[in-house]
């Protein structure tokens, strides 16, 4: 009976991608190869994060990144690992990273057809405390005939070919989705060294009374933001108030929201009128995951997040994402 419980028909990420590829007759296998490079960078980053405290990788690297945040040693390592993986894939023409001021062009990669945006280690202020962090990524296809220009990445999320994120938590989780497709979750099996399909066709619950926001910013919030969150905490008609959950790592807050439902928000406010989170490698990829899982994502002006077009690669936006009904509720407060 013991052996009967063993799954001998495991779907690894490699198998999943191969099966997906065979569904598309026109597929060249290039995207599959790019994904192999992506998954290698996730495994490597996950490895170093787990070793960080033991091999002196905690703390600051002593420099600031493109957007002025202090860089952690692991931010630098994560970024370098990601860049090396993209370059060596041979399929990536250009890369935008949170840690790099400018676009990196891999001009030697002739025939590379993808443009990638990433935040190699999101939530890195949490790193030294061992709290979950992760990698967020979005993949665009180059325009027909293009060898890679900034127009190939300054595109709305509606044009993303694929997007997803990892969360390096109790185990490493990978959530990935393709345009018009389902959302699938994988768990890194450390003994196999493989991501295993553990959460096929993820669907976010339609509603849930959980909110996730940095309430310490409420002094700076706009009136409608205040009213909306107050309505969750002090419901009319003796309803039950919402629970608050805020980790301060978007990947971890988003992963929980995806599984349990609820709302995650980083609204634009008087201190950060454009919001905090970055469109290309934080907001848009997450929005694609949430929409494809049956949820919604909007910016602080209640525009569909996926339709927002960044002007510059590090542009920011306010964001609300989560269960379908919870985002509807947000919208109703902003329409007032
Ligand atoms: P980072 O990319 O510098 O790590 O910043 C992004 C992080 C998100 O993971 C998280 O949602 C947010 O910043 C938390 O910000 P705050 O500390 O202001 O609440
Ligand atoms: Mg980030």
Please tell me the predicted confidence (pLDDT) of residue 16: 95
Calpha distance 25→15 (Å, rounded)? 17
Task: Spell out the residues 6+ positions from residue 220 whose beta carbon is closer than 8 angstroms to its own.
Answer: 269, 270, 271, 272
Helix ranges (H only) for 24-109 are 30-51, 73-89
Nearest atom within ligand 1 for CA of residue 126:
4
Calpha distance 237→93 (Å, rounded)? 56
Count how many residues are written for the chain. 336
| 67 ligand 1 Cβ < 6 A | no
Helices (H) and strands (E) in the chain, counts: 7, 17
Could you tell me the distance, in angstroms and rounded to a whole number, from the CA of residue 187 to the centre of ligand 2? 22
| 124 ligand 1 Cβ < 6 A | yes
Please tell me the predicted confidence (pLDDT) of residue 155: 98
Please tell me the predicted confidence (pLDDT) of residue 23: 86
Calpha distance 120→281 (Å, rounded)? 9
**Whose alpha carbon is nearest atom 15 of ligand 1?**
248
| 123 ligand 1 Cβ < 6 A | yes
Please tell me the predicted confidence (pLDDT) of residue 244: 98
**Whose alpha carbon is nearest atom 12 of ligand 1?**
248
Backbone angles phi, psi at 51, to 5 degrees: -90, -10
| 119 ligand 1 Cβ < 6 A | yes
Three-state SS string over 213-274 comes to CCHHHHHHCCHHHHHHHHHHHCCCCCCCCCEECCCCCHHHHHHHHHHHCCEEEECCCCCCCC
| 75 ligand 1 Cβ < 6 A | no
Please tell me the predicted confidence (pLDDT) of residue 99: 94
CA distances from 200 to 38, 173, 182, 223 (A): 19, 13, 8, 40
Burial class of residue 324 (count of CB atoms within 10 Å of its CB; 0-12, 13-18, 19+): middle
Mean per-residue pLDDT pooled into runs of 10, the chain (336 residues): 77 93 85 95 94 74 70 88 96 97 93 96 89 97 95 98 96 96 97 96 98 98 97 92 98 98 98 97 98 98 98 98 98 88
Please tell me the predicted confidence (pLDDT) of residue 3: 62
Which of 125, 131, 137 to probe ligand 1 with, by most ligand atoms within 8 A of CB?
Answer: 125
Nearest atom within ligand 1 for CA of residue 214:
19
Cα R_g (the chain), whole angstroms: 20
Whether the full predicted model's pTM is greater than 0.90, yes or no, is yes
Please tell me the predicted confidence (pLDDT) of residue 142: 97
Which of 119, 264, 277, 317 to probe ligand 1 with, by most ligand atoms within 8 A of CB?
Answer: 277
Three-state DSSP at 161 gives: coil
Nearest in space to 95 (alpha carbons), one of 75, 116, 112, 80: 116
| 146 ligand 1 Cβ < 6 A | no
Three-state DSSP at 171 gives: coil
Nearest atom within ligand 1 for CA of residue 249:
9
Nearest atom within ligand 1 for CA of residue 125:
4
Please tell me the predicted confidence (pLDDT) of residue 59: 77
Calpha distance 30→51 (Å, rounded)? 32
Say if residues 252 and 169 touch (Cβ distance below 8 Å).
yes
CA distances from 202 to 103, 107, 183, 186, 331 (A): 33, 37, 5, 11, 24
Please tell me the predicted confidence (pLDDT) of residue 336: 67
Please tell me the predicted confidence (pLDDT) of residue 127: 85
- Measure the CA dihedral 145/147/151/155, to 10°: 80
């Amino acid at each position: 009976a013991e052996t009967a419980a063993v799954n001998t028909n495991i779907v690894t990420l490699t198998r999943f991608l191969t099966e997906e590829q065979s569904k598309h007759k026109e597929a060249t296998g290039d995207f599959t190869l790019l994904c192999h490079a992506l998954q290698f960078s996730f495994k490597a980053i996950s490895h170093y994060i787990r070793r960080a405290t033991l091999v002196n990788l905690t703390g600051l690297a002593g420099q600031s990144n493109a957007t002025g945040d202090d860089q952690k040693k692991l931010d630098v390592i994560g970024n370098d690992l990601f860049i090396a993986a993209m370059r060596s894939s041979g399929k990536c023409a250009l890369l935008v990273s949170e840690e790099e001021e400018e676009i990196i062009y891999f001009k030697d990669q002739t025939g590379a057809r993808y443009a990638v945006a990433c935040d190699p280690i999101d939530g890195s202020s949490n790193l030294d405390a061992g709290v979950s962090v992760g990698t967020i990524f979005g993949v665009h296809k180059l325009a027909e005939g293009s060898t890679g220009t900034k127009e190939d990445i300054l595109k709305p999320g509606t044009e993303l070919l694929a997007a997803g994120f990892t969360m390096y938590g109790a185990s490493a989780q990978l959530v990935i989705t393709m345009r018009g497709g389902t959302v699938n979750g994988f768990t890194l099996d450390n003994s196999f060294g493989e991501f295993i399909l553990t959460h096929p066709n993820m669907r976010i619950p339609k509603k849930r009374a959980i909110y996730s926001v940095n309430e310490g910013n409420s002094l700076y919030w706009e009136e409608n933001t205040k009213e909306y969150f107050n309505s969750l905490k002090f419901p009319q008609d003796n309803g039950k108030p919402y629970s608050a959950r805020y980790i301060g790592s978007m990947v971890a807050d988003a992963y929980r929201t995806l599984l349990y439902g609820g709302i995650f928000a980083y609204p634009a406010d008087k201190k950060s009128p454009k919001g905090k989170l970055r469109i290309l490698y934080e907001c848009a990829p997450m929005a694609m995951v949430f929409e494809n899982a049956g949820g919604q994502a909007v910016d602080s002006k209640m525009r569909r997040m996926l339709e927002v077009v960044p002007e510059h690669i590090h542009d920011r936006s306010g964001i609300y994402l989560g269960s379908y009904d919870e985002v509807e509720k947000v919208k109703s407060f902003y329409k007032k």
